[in-house]
Amino acid sequence: MKTLVATLFLALLMQSASVSAHPMPTSRVDVRILEKQWHLELQLPTDRLVSALELAGNPGQPTGSATTSAETGHLRDEVIKEYIVDRIKAHSLTGPADPWAVKVENAEPSNKAGYWTAHVVLEPPAHADLSRVNIEYHVIGQEIITHTIDVVLVEDWASPGVREAPEHLTSLRARRSSILLERE
């Protein structure tokens, strides 16, 4: 009888511990479809970004800087820009599948504590169809397979008007890192 009570107590304790676990930080990608290019605003958790840079073996990031970088946000923006360009690829799905240019305009600590913001511009080749694009997104998720990225449509120039709320398009994880975006 004591064994049964102890087992039930242990099971209850383990269940409450798993329920009380804190949620993992996620990234968010806000998509703005403009007339001649697409803009992505990335919200990246600083601690995960530091870990991803270190796991990627980024030589431009000081070694052993995870704690100070996560606490103070003193990451090097050039390193982050290079990392992002290396982890995002895009191409059209109609006509030639030529790659789109990926440019990071800026990367800086966010006004949201514990996050970095990066503004990325995706520029298609001159002949590309902007209505259908495939984006391969591997920022943080390539190094940290438990990381989740929420992708949200904020603006589409072909559908003018004020959006009441951003439209959640998808959530990306390690095994699903491709975003197929088609304008209706």
Q: Would 147 be classed as within a structural domain?
A: yes
pLDDT given for residue 23 in this prediction: 74
Please enumerate in sequence order all residues whose Cβ is within 8 A of that of 153, keeping only pairs 6 or more positions apart, or say none. 31, 33, 166, 167, 169
Q: Would 2 be classed as within a structural domain?
A: no
Residue-wise pLDDT for 89-130, tens only, equals 999 887 667 899 999 999 999 999 999 999 999 999 888 888
pLDDT (average), residues 40-64: 83
Domain that holds residue 136: 24-182
pLDDT (average), residues 159-180: 80
pLDDT given for residue 53 in this prediction: 93
pLDDT (average), residues 73-91: 89
Answer whether residue 178 shows pLDDT above 80. yes
pLDDT (average), residues 128-137: 87
Structural domains in the chain (count): 1
Q: Would 140 be classed as within a structural domain?
A: yes
Q: Would 18 be classed as within a structural domain?
A: no
Say which residue, 45 or 71, is predicted with more confidence. Answer: 45
Q: Would 52 be classed as within a structural domain?
A: yes
Q: What is the pTM of this model?
A: 0.80
